Amino acid sequence: MKVLSAGIHFHPGSPSIPTTAVHTTPLGYDRDDLPVGAPLPLPASVELTDRLSQCGDIEVAFHGKLGDTLLALSAVRALTEWIGLHSDPPTVRATGPHAELISRCGLVTQNPATPPHGHRVVIGDRLGIEARQAEAATALVCDPAAPPCWSSGGRAHPDLPARHYLALERRLGVRLPGSAPFSPTLTYRSSGLVEQLRTAGWLSGLTIAAITATSWPERKDYTVQRFIEVAERIAHARGTPTQLLLIGGQNGGIHAAAESPAHCVQVLRLDGVSAVHLADLFPHCDLVVGNDTGLTHLAGLARRSDGAGPPVIGLYARHSHSKWRTGQPHHHAVATALSDRMHQGDLCPVRDGLSANADRHMEAITPASLAQLCSDLLDGSR
C-alpha cells in the first residue's frame, strides 16, 4: 500500500494481506499443507457431493450483472476441477446473456445447442438458476454477498474469485488444484472493432482506456473531465502523443474523435460497445483505468493468448477495493479512506445498510496523483 494523497491509497494487485490486518473467517485448514485431492479436515456436504457425483454435464447460467458474473467464474472452475478429480472431465456449456463472453475463460467445452448427457448441474446467479433449474438435477447459486473473506496460513483471501472458489472447496471437502489468482482469464480473438480502430489511426501510440460506465454515477463516477485531465498530465509528463478511449455503458456507438482542451490528447468515445468486443480491445491498450464497475473487472481478466496485457487500475470510493477485484497481479486499486475501511472490516455499505456519510467519494482522488501513478505503472516502476 502506498499513500497517493490525503486519505487516498494505492493497493497493488495480488497483495499479501496478513490476517491480523483485516476481519476474516478461518478456512479451517492450511491449503499449503494439503496435497491436491486430499480430504479436508472438515466434513463435505454429503447431499451436495452425492448429487454432483451423478452429474456429467455443467450448465453455466449467469443472467445478472456482468461484474458479479466475471468474479464468480472461479466457482465454475472449482466445480469442474472437483468433478475432474472424481470422474471423466465434465462437459461444460454456457447459456444466457453472458454466454459468449464466458466461453473465453477456457472452461466451456461444448456449444449450448449440443444435447446434454447424463445428469446436469446448473451453476450461476439467482436469475440464471431460476431460469434454468427445472432442467437440472441440482443447482449451485453464486451470491456475491455470501462468501466471507477467508484466511489460511496467516494470509487473507479477500478478492471475490478467491472467496467463491474456497467456499465451494470447503463444501466439497477436497483440496482442489487451484491457487491464487483463482479467477480464469479471458483470451481475446481477432476483432472487427480493433481493425476498425487501427484503420482509423487509433491504437498507434500510447493508448489509455478510461471506463466511465457506472451503475451509481453520484458515488462511483470519476467523470469524463477528470479522466481527460489524467491523460493530459500523462502526455505532458512523458512527452508522448496520447490517445484516450472513453468507454461508456450507454448506447451510442463510436463518437467522432476530438482533441482534449490542452490539445495534447486525442479522445474517442466508445459508448454501448458490447463486453465481447471490449474483451478484444482492452489487451491492445497500454493502460486501463476505470470506475468500480463490471467493465473494469473485464479489463482485469482480458489478456492476450500469452497472458500479457495492460495494467488495470480500479477506482474505489465506497466499496471494498480488495473484494471487488479479480485477484490478478496486474489489477490494482486506488481507494478512498471509506473503501479502505470497508476492506478492513469486510463490510459492504449496501449489504450492511451503512448510511451515507461526509466522505468526498471520487473527487478525493486527484488527477495529479492518479496521473503520477499511471506514469509509474507505464514505466514499470510500480
pLDDT in tens, 127-144: 999 988 776 778 999 999
CATH number for 297: 3.40.50.2000
Q: What is the dihedral of CA 310, 216, 66, 156, to 10 degrees?
A: 70
pLDDT tens digit sequence for 49-88: 999 988 889 999 999 999 999 999 999 999 999 999 988 8
pLDDT of 311 above 80: yes
Please, which pLDDT band fits residue 5 given cuts at 50, 70 and 90? Answer: confident
pLDDT of 124 above 90: yes
The reply to whether 338 falls in a domain is: no
Q: What is the maximum span of the chain, computed from C-alpha positions, in angstroms?
A: 65
Q: The pTM is what? A: 0.94
Domain count of the chain?
Answer: 2
> Is 83 in the same domain as 207?
no
The reply to whether 294 falls in a domain is: yes
> For the residues 219-225, what does the mean pLDDT come to?
88
Q: What is the dihedral of CA 126, 14, 341, 72, to 10 degrees?
A: 0
> Is 166 in the same domain as 194?
no
Out of 4-13, 34-43, 191-200, 247-256, least confident range:
247-256
> Is 84 in the same domain as 136?
yes
The reply to whether 197 falls in a domain is: yes
> Is 34 in the same domain as 180?
yes
> Is 158 in the same domain as 206?
no
> Is 211 in the same domain as 290?
yes
Closest to 76 in 3D by CA, of 21, 28, 124: 124
Please, which pLDDT band fits residue 15 given cuts at 50, 70 and 90? Answer: confident
Three cell numbers written together for 200 = 482509423
Selected residue with higher pLDDT from 261 and 369: 369
Residues 8, 336: Cα–Cα separation, whole Å:
5
pLDDT of 116 above 60: no
DSSP assignment of 25-64: EE-SS-GGGS-TTPBPSS---HHHHHHHTTEEEEEEE--S
> Is 61 in the same domain as 115?
yes
Predicted confidence at residue 341, as pLDDT, reads 94
Q: In DSSP terms, which residues pair with 46 in a beta bridge?
A: none
Residues 240, 304: Cα–Cα separation, whole Å:
25
What does DSSP say about strands 253-254 and 155-157: parallel, antiparallel, or unpaired? unpaired
The reply to whether 332 falls in a domain is: no
* Cα dist from 255 to 9, 267, 269, whole Å: 34, 9, 5
- Domain end among 166, 184, 202: 184
pLDDT tens digit sequence for 243-300: 999 999 777 677 778 888 888 999 999 998 999 999 999 999 999 999 999 999 999 9
Predicted confidence at residue 358, as pLDDT, reads 54
* Cα dist from 371 to 68, 265, 289, whole Å: 29, 14, 10
pLDDT of 380 above 90: no
pLDDT of 115 above 60: no
The reply to whether 153 falls in a domain is: yes
Q: Is residue 282 within 8 Å of 309, Cβ to Cβ?
A: yes
Predicted confidence at residue 6, as pLDDT, reads 79
> For the residues 359-378, what does the mean pLDDT come to?
90
List the domain range (segments joined by +) for residue 78: 25-184
What does DSSP say about strands 150-152 and 155-157: parallel, antiparallel, or unpaired? antiparallel
> Is 40 in the same domain as 168?
yes
- Domain end among 122, 154, 184: 184
> Is 110 in the same domain as 142?
yes
Q: Is residue 301 within 8 Å of 186, Cβ to Cβ?
A: yes
> For the residues 304-330, what does the mean pLDDT come to?
94
> Is 180 in the same domain as 199?
no
Predicted confidence at residue 377, as pLDDT, reads 96
The reply to whether 253 falls in a domain is: yes
**What DSSP designation does 363 have?**
G
The reply to whether 372 falls in a domain is: yes
> Is 32 in the same domain as 62?
yes
Average pLDDT, the chain: 91
The reply to whether 323 falls in a domain is: no
Out of 153-162, 189-198, 281-290, least confident range:
189-198
Helical ranges in the chain per DSSP H: 46-52, 66-71, 73-86, 99-102, 126-132, 160-172, 192-199, 217-220, 224-238, 275-281, 294-301, 337-345, 367-379
> Is 142 in the same domain as 283?
no
- Domain end among 184, 209, 239: 184
Residues 48, 161: Cα–Cα separation, whole Å:
21
Selected residue with higher pLDDT from 349 and 117: 349
Residues 201, 207: Cα–Cα separation, whole Å:
11
